[in-house]
């Protein structure tokens, strides 16, 4: 993928959104569940390919419907979010595998870099800015609901609506990276920088800022190296993010 101005802007915006959403996903102990949730896009991608629609459109629709389904089941059954996401993930993976061929499935899992139009880049940046605005404006409410849902309710926070909004923000964040990272790796970009930030930061604001910076560095550096050595950008981005995570463990242990 050639790192054009449009691709660079979208990469930075996408990574910033991923860093913020990932920080709260890690604090909610949704690390594994978050990666599984990204696979819910597979049936939508399969349907989009079958009907000759842009696969990202199908992925977005499936992710949003999946978020609504998970939220609804969680509040009706009182089962944990991780359990419900695990069931939905398994079903989505099975359905997606049946609807797509081997090559199409691999492309959906790992992403297929392609040239960006200005309209696609603009829509992606606007969506990313919306996610960033949501997380920053709802930061205190998200933390309060995380610490104690009952306390949040007594303070006037609509916990159910807030959790649905967070799941939808997560789904939209995944959809931003479907084209370049695929459903397999986009969940990793959301979680790994946030996990690294949690390990090294000493405050919530520090964790949010560190997560964003690490996600942006991983994305931009990975895309640049992939373009330089003619490799797929997704795996390179995740390798860099994982490398910084393990480096943080080593440096922390030496202190």
pLDDT beneath 70, residues of the chain: 1-3, 31-36, 81-82, 89, 93, 96-97, 99-116, 179-180, 182-184, 252-255
Residues 187-232: tens digit of each pLDDT: 889 999 999 999 899 899 999 999 999 999 999 998 889 888 888 7
**Residue-level pLDDT at 32:** 64
pLDDT of residue 249: 87
DSSP string, 64-92: HHHHHHHHHHHHHH---HHHHHHHHHHHH
pLDDT reported for residue 1? 47
How is residue 180 annotated by DSSP? T
Listed residue (22, 41, 147) closest to 95, CA to CA? 41
Q: Which of 217, 197, 199 is nearest to 207 (CA)?
A: 197
List the domains of the chain with CATH numbers.
5-254 (1.10.3470.10)
176's CB contacts (< 8 A; 6+ apart) are: 10, 13, 14, 17, 18, 124, 127, 128, 186
């Amino acid at each position: 993928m050639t790192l054009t101005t449009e691709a660079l802007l979208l990469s930075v915006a996408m990574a910033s959104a991923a860093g913020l959403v990932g920080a709260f996903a890690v604090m909610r102990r949704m690390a594994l569940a978050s990666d599984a949730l990204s696979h819910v896009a597979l049936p939508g991608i399969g349907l989009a390919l079958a009907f000759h629609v842009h696969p990202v459109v199908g992925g977005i629709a499936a992710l949003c419907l999946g978020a609504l389904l998970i939220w609804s089941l969680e509040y009706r059954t009182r089962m944990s979010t991780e359990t419900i996401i695990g069931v939905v993930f398994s079903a989505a993976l099975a359905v997606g595998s049946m609807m797509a061929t081997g090559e199409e499935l691999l492309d959906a899992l790992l992403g297929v870099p392609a040239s960006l139009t200005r309209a696609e880049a603009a829509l992606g940046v606007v969506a990313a800015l919306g996610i960033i605005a949501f997380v920053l404006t709802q930061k205190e409410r998200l933390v309060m609901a995380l610490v104690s849902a009952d306390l949040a309710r007594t303070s006037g926070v609509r916990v159910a609506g807030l959790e649905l909004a967070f799941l939808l923000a997560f789904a939209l964040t995944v959809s931003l990276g479907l084209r370049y990272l695929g459903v397999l790796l986009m969940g990793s970009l959301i979680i790994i920088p946030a996990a690294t930030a949690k390990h090294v930061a000493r405050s919530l604001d520090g964790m949010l800022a560190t997560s964003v910076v690490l996600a942006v560095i991983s994305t931009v550096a990975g895309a640049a190296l992939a373009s330089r050595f003619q490799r797929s950008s997704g795996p390179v981005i995740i390798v860099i993010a994982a490398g910084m995570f393990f480096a943080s463990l080593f440096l922390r242990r030496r202190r």
